Structure 1
């Protein structure tokens, strides 16, 4: 319970009319201040938790303003920027390509999200070549317009997702087995199929016969509900949670 106390001199027997008027004006303001003071720690905690959650994502995530200033970035985005391989952050600003500024096509995403574009989908995709000749980055950008807390105008930002094809989350045997009811051996065979190994290659890797592998592959197809390796890859990859590699490591209970 919050209490506001107003003191008058001992000679004052009744609160002056002017003071009563000031009180009626002041109390709502004080109540709002108290409300905000209670909300701020909660908002700060929610902010910290949200950033911590983003750090567990296996794709780079950041938020930039129209000037290119990076406002928020997760751990994977920081890793990608540190590579300085076609995509980096210099002086707190996003830099794409060898030049000191991102391509015009990228910054045009902010032009597409004015009041007239409200309600329209403005997701854009960009391919960023890497000087190292590695697999190019894929960037997806979505402008976000939110009202300012202190005024009615909009605060424009862009949500950026960065995919590094050279850092793909592995398929978890534990998750695959749990989702489709596979045995530990079937889950391992499933992963080896997704990795592209032939039946004879799987047999050599697991020190079993090719006939045993064929039997396990049939069981995997039946449980997953597919009829080919391509369908199996699509189905399993669609269920991989986009969490960091450390979170995907299988424990000894998978054996």
Structure 2
């Protein structure tokens, strides 16, 4: 059984009538769960009563930490009573937007303080109504301090970079200064600047900030 077997049913469409179609639906639900487990962001499906219907691997890790978001006996809970009310209000509003088929207001955002807010930035939650799934809301959870390294192979393929250019680009995207990148790659700072010039040309960007933003947008949040 999948690790989140109690929630896999939330990924099913209405049960087909034929046995072979039901089998295909079961296989599709399991495969979809496995795909969602590859994401580096948390993904939750919750119902109108704030109860958890599905959680991918990253979301289960977040919930198990009880650091800003957790699953209680009465549904999803935040670290404080006030934050829990805000969380459930956002779920209710998203459900109303879904019921009214108001696509413009379907997505909502909420930051939730952590158990020790002085040490960590809040969780950022994005709520999205699911067309055709009454009472179900998708919640995407971003943990700010979890910086995920940019794939050198992916950006090399997308932008036609050499291995050294891709290595420099990945370090820049991870927040390193150019001088530090040169040291980490055992190259002179002048060589690093030359590679950076090539990166600007190949990505059609004109500043280091724009380059990093483009790299982070291009490579998806997957494992």
Q: TM-score range by the shorter chain?
A: 0.7 to 0.9
Q: Give the match for residue 233 of structure 1.
A: 212
Which of 30, 34, 54 is the equivalent residue of 1:72? 54
CA gap 1:47/1:92 in 2 versus in 1, 3 angstroms: farther
Partner secondary structure for residue 146 of structure 2? coil
**SS state of the match for residue 144, structure 2?**
coil
RMSD over aligned Cα atoms: 2.3
CA pair 233-96 structure 1, distance change in 2 beyond 3 A: same
Map 1:1-255 onto structure 2 (within 5 A).
Answer: 35-91=17-73, 93-99=75-81, 101-103=84-86, 104-110=88-94, 112-113=96-97, 115=99, 117-121=100-104, 122-133=106-117, 134-144=120-130, 146=132, 155-244=134-223
Indicate the residue corresponding to 1:247 in structure 2: none
Matched residue SS, 1:196: coil
Structure 1 residue 62, shift from structure 2 partner: 1.0
- Return closer, same or farther for 1:102/1:49 CA change in 2, 3 Å cut-off: farther
Q: Is the 8 A contact 2:122 2:143 kept in 1?
A: yes
Which residue is 2:9 aligned to? Answer: none
- Tell me which structure has the larger Cα radius of gyration: 1
Alpha-carbon distance in structure 1 between the residues aligned to 2:22 and 2:79: 39
Instruction: Tell me the secondary structure at the aligned position of residue 227 of structure 1.
Output: coil
Q: Unaligned 5+ residue runs, structure 1? A: 1-33, 148-154, 245-255
Tell me the CA shift for residue 124 of structure 1: 0.7
CA shift in 2, pair 1:85/1:145, >3 Å = same
Gaps of 5+ in 2: 1-15
TM-score (structure 1 length as normaliser) = 0.73
